[in-house]
């Protein structure tokens, strides 16, 4: 999205100068820039995604990418153009990932309801199950266990988990998917 109005142009020049300073190691300018571009990024992401959480995931992905490729920005060129190109790419990647995930998973709203059978609410049984679950989680390969802990137990976002573990968002998704499939196979005998 190239800058259009004179206000956009002024804003673009400001962002461009902040990024040039950030490339030289000015952390304050960089932090200010990342905050200022958030509404722009959210507006771009909202064109392709409706769910607020998903928009925020895309925005975080864009921020991580901006950080990773910040050496490719040429201050002689429009900053918004560079930023919008990254945002569009990440947004499309998120759509593709969503397509792949939805093709592989099923959603069952009733699964969240408690069971009609009172025995299912029995504390002891729940404790036994929790113990078994703990043991099953410990038996998972390290990568899967780590992904499960970060994303499901600590409920970090993908971007946060990715930063903490040093693994890519895509590999975390694969690991957590495999972990859940392994646990499901263990407790439900392979049922979906």
Q: How far is the CB of 183 from another protein (least distance, A)?
A: 24
Instruction: Specify the stretch interacting with another protein by CB under 8 A; choose among 7-15, 76-84, 131-139, 142-150.
Output: 76-84
Task: By CB under 8 A, tell whether 43 contacts another protein.
Answer: no
The SS3 call for residue 177 is helix
Site for another protein in 51-70 (CB under 8 A): 56, 59-60, 63-65, 67-70
Per rule CB under 8 A, is residue 22 in the interface with another protein? yes
User: Which contacts qualify for 172-177: CB closer than 8 Å, 24 or more apart?
Assistant: 172/147, 173/97, 173/101, 175/143, 175/144, 175/146, 175/147, 175/148, 176/144, 176/147, 176/148, 176/151, 176/152, 177/104
| Closer of 24 and 114 to another protein (Cβ) | 24
Asked if 101 is part of the footprint of another protein (rule: CB under 8 A), the reply reads no
Long-range CB pairs of 84-89 (<8 Å, 24+ gap) are 84/1, 84/44, 86/62, 87/41, 87/44, 87/45, 87/58, 87/62, 88/44, 89/65
> If binding is defined by CB under 8 A, does position 97 make contact with another protein?
no
x/- track of binding to another protein for residues 160-179 (CB under 8 A) = x-xx--xxxxxx--------
To another protein, the closest distance from the beta carbon of 23 in angstroms equals: 5
Give the one residue of 7, 27, 119, 192 binding another protein; rule: CB under 8 A.
27
CA R_g for the chain: 22
Closest of 3, 6, 87, 14 to residue 44, by C-alpha: 87
Residue 140 or 165 with smaller CB distance to another protein: 165
Burial 43-60 (b: 16+ CB within 10 A, else e): ebbeeebeeeebbbbbbb
34 binds another protein (CB under 8 A): yes
Residues 127-156, interacting with another protein (CB under 8 A): 156
Interface with another protein (CB under 8 A): 22-28, 30-31, 34-35, 38, 56, 59-60, 63-65, 67-74, 77-78, 81-82, 85-86, 89, 156-157, 159-160, 162-163, 166-171
């Amino acid at each position: 999205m190239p800058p259009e109005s004179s206000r956009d142009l002024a804003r673009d020049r400001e962002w461009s100068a902040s990024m040039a300073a950030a490339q030289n190691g000015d952390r304050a300018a960089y932090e200010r820039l990342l905050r200022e571009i958030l509404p722009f990024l959210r507006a771009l992401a909202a064109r392709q995604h409706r769910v607020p959480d998903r928009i925020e995931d895309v925005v975080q992905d864009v921020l991580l990418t901006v950080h990773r490729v910040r050496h490719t920005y040429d201050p002689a060129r429009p900053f918004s153009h560079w930023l919008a190109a990254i945002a569009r790419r990440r947004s499309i990647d998120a759509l593709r990932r969503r397509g792949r995930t939805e093709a592989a998973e099923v959603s069952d709203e009733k699964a969240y309801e408690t069971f009609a059978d009172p025995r299912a609410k029995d504390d002891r049984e729940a404790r036994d199950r929790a113990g078994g679950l703990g043991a099953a989680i410990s038996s998972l390969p390290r990568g899967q266990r780590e992904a499960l802990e970060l994303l499901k137990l600590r409920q970090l976002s993908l971007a946060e988990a990715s930063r903490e573990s040093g693994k890519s968002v895509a590999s975390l998704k694969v690991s957590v998917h495999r972990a859940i499939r392994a646990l499901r196979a263990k407790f439900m005998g392979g049922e979906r």
